[in-house]
């Protein structure tokens, strides 16, 4: 393999050259160009179409309020039948999982809604052979 020596190879001259004294006057030229450009500022209140923009904004707002109100109202309501169907098809859900999610207010509401007579309780206990499991639960 032939040894490569950087000093012996011909060097390629760069195609870019700066004019003489360019960097001496660069900062002065940049400052002159910045001061020379003035941006024309148009205030928003002097535009001719401000009224049309305001009317469009009010119209959009007036249309969006009822849509947003109905969307939030329908999203929060949950039907009891839908909830019962969902819970019945969840095979990995048991009574202990449900008990964990209930707080004292929910338990009091359940107690008020359930009206069992003594005869109904006796029928359930007499027909079920696992009385001990029901009592322990």
Kindly report the pTM of this predicted structure. 0.25
Residue with tokens 């029928």: 123
What pLDDT does residue 60 have?
93
First vs last C-alpha separation in the chain:
89
Quote the CA–CA distance of 86 and 83 in Å, as a whole number.
5
Q: How far is the CA of 94 from the CAs of 79, 89, 91, in angstroms? A: 21, 11, 8
What pLDDT does residue 36 have?
67
What pLDDT does residue 1 have?
65
CA atoms within 13 A on the CB side of 63: 6
**Are the beta carbons of 91 and 97 closer than 8 angstroms?**
no
What pLDDT does residue 59 have?
93
Per-residue pLDDT of the chain (137 residues; tens, 9 = 90+): 677 777 777 777 777 888 888 888 888 888 888 776 677 777 766 666 777 888 899 999 998 888 877 776 655 567 778 878 887 787 677 778 877 888 888 888 877 777 778 888 888 778 877 777 767 76
**Are the beta carbons of 125 and 134 closer than 8 angstroms?**
yes
Quote the CA–CA distance of 112 and 118 in Å, as a whole number.
16
Quote the CA–CA distance of 57 and 117 in Å, as a whole number.
63
């Amino acid at each position: 393999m032939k040894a490569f020596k950087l000093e012996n190879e011909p060097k390629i001259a760069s195609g870019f050259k700066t004019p003489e004294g360019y960097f001496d006057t660069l900062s002065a030229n940049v400052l002159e160009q910045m001061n020379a450009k003035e941006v024309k500022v148009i205030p928003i209140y002097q535009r001719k179409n401000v009224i049309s923009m305001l009317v469009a904004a009010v119209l959009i707002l007036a249309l969006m309020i009822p849509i947003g109100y109905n969307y939030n109202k329908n999203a929060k309501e949950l039907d009891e039948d839908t909830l019962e169907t969902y819970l019945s098809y969840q095979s990995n859900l048991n009574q202990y999982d449900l008990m964990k999610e209930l707080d004292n207010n929910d338990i009091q509401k359940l107690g008020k809604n359930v009206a069992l007579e003594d005869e109904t309780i006796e029928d359930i206990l007499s027909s079920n052979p696992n009385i001990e499991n029901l009592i322990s639960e």
